[in-house]
Amino acid sequence: MSRKQKKVLVRIIVAAALCTVALMLPIDGLWKLLAFAVPYLIIGYDVLWGAIRNILHGQVFDEKFLMSVATIGAFAIKEYPEAAAVMLFYQIGELFQSIAVGKSRKSIAALMDIRPDYAVVTRDGEEITVSPEEVEIGEILIVKPGEKIPLDGEITDGHTTVNTAALTGESLPVDKAVGDKVISGSINLSGVIRLKAESRYEESTVSKILELVENAAEKKARAESFITRFARYYTPCVVIGAVLLAVVPPLFFSQDWSAWINRALIFLVVSCPCALVVSVPLSFFGGIGGASREGILIKGANYLEALSKIDTIVFDKTGTLTKGTFTVNEIHAENITKADLLSIAAAAESYSNHPVGESIIRAHGGKIDKNRIGEVKELAGMGLQANVDGKTYFVGNGALMDKVNADWQDCHLAGTVIHIAESNKYLGHIVINDEIKNDSKDAVLQLKSLGIKNTVMLTGDSESVAQNVGKAVGIDCIHSELLPAQKVEKVEELLSHGCKTAFVGDGINDAPVLSRADVGIAMGALGSDAAIESADIVLMDDKPSKLPRAIKIARKTMNIVRQNICFALAVKAIILILGAFGIANMWTAVFGDVGVMVLAILNAMRAMIKIK
């Protein structure tokens, strides 16, 4: 509990004690007024001052104004205990709200704790401690056990285990050695390591994640926006209704002024919209915080709300359903040796960071003489055109071979097939396989159990590979050999049929599709700037099983929001009607306001509880 919360609690206890004493004293008249005015002012002075300050700034109709008018009115009609009690219970509700928000913020704070405080860099043979923002790309950093890794980089010396729990939600540490990449924000657990910085701090993974989380609260869901607009018009209407209730019956129907003013005050107390204004944003905040603890970063409440309505999931294949770690399985050469065919392909792919190209370079194993390589052009969705040893080679898929009129043939083996041609002379092909992730099939089954109507896979890979992977994991609809623009067309086709669509990709080359779907989800995004920037939701590790968990969190949060809205409006409507007819008293009104708010807040806090 914070210092401010402790002060409020002390005021509540003191005011409650003084109210209890005042109720037991055999006093009346002015003494009774003073006896209840003291605890009233102790507990409510900040509310009264807040109402006055807001009025001076032109913000008249808010909950502080309603509480002030209702309680001062209660004093005016000599309902002293009720006046003090309304303010006391209002402050108890506010304390509950403060504690709930604080608890929710802790789940975000755990993620925010990934921010590195310093970096140890070697300059001129000396170890210097500097701010992470001062480190330049290429500098060597030293990270000791127990320290946060300050920047993205590659280990140049040492080996260790790294804790990425704050980023991915994965509790098991990961072994890292020379040549491995490490991510800023993760924690070095065992050995001393040296790493070469590969980004400046503002471009690092940790910086982008922190910016994402800090800005998440700015993007409101439709339910939040509705409540904000609702409160803006609702409060003035309530005040006008209360005035009419207090004035019309006595003035036009000769009713008792005191009784109808009391009903108007009850009307004001129970009408306070704080249960809605507080609990709805708190529910979304709790849902976003709970998701972040599991390595699921949601950029705003609007995306959380959209995710809860998804009925169609569209998957990329490579790096999403499969591991993206390719290996060369077979080389089929024509009029050239296998070694020479592999050497040409490796030279053409030597500047590529695509997993397929990297697998060819690994299979080649030898040193690639960059002097052999001239201009290299990427042909979108088809492959590469490369000048090697003064000759023009085409390395890519069947569509590329058709484009250059090469007499090519497909391979009978399942896998990704990379064809190679010298101009239009076909030289052969290389067969590469990508392993399906262990939990891909289970993730698809879980999605179907959640009521997801359609699962779709879009890939630029061959029909045979796509069918093998899609059928193995249980995908309903499989589209292969697609260019990036065709993937967007397929998603637009689904949207045109009224499907609420989420696209799940690795975020590296799927930015157009991620931004076109109702919800773009990037997975395996550690170290991928494109993923963090282009997606609406980011799954920080590469486990497809995080996707059904994200949907469960979104649906649970939206259920809580709907429950709070319906419960608060229903209870308030009932008490408003009872109050207008003189059946409900001020204590009932206190429950209708503060009691409903506390119950709604407690319900909202369930959004932070981890789903099993």
Catalytic residues: 316
Task: Output b/e per residue, 413-445; b: 16+ Cβ within 10 A.
Answer: eebbbbbbbbeebbbbbbbbbbeebebbbebbe
Q: Give how far Cα 73 sits from Cα of 48, 86, 523, Å.
A: 13, 12, 57
User: Is 572 within 8 Å of 596 (Cβ atoms)?
Assistant: yes
What share of residues in the chain are helix, strand, coil (percent, to 5)?
Answer: 55, 20, 25
Q: Give how far Cα 106 sits from Cα of 103, 286, 290, 422, Å.
A: 5, 10, 10, 61
Q: Which amino acid is located at 144 in the chain?
A: K
* Residue 458 CB partners (closer than 8 Å, separation 6+): 314, 315, 316, 317, 479, 482, 487, 490, 491, 513
Six token digits for residue 122: 């070697």
What length does the chain have?
A: 612
Minimal CA–CA distance to 473: which of 501, 449, 502, 442? Answer: 442
CA 304, CA 550: separation in Å to the nearest integer?
Answer: 9
Please, is 114 exposed, middle or buried when counting C-beta atoms within 10 Å of its C-beta (0-12, 13-18, 19+)? buried
The secondary structure of residue 20, as a DSSP letter, is: H
SS3 label, residue 228: helix
CA 446, CA 567: separation in Å to the nearest integer?
Answer: 31
CA 482, CA 177: separation in Å to the nearest integer?
Answer: 37
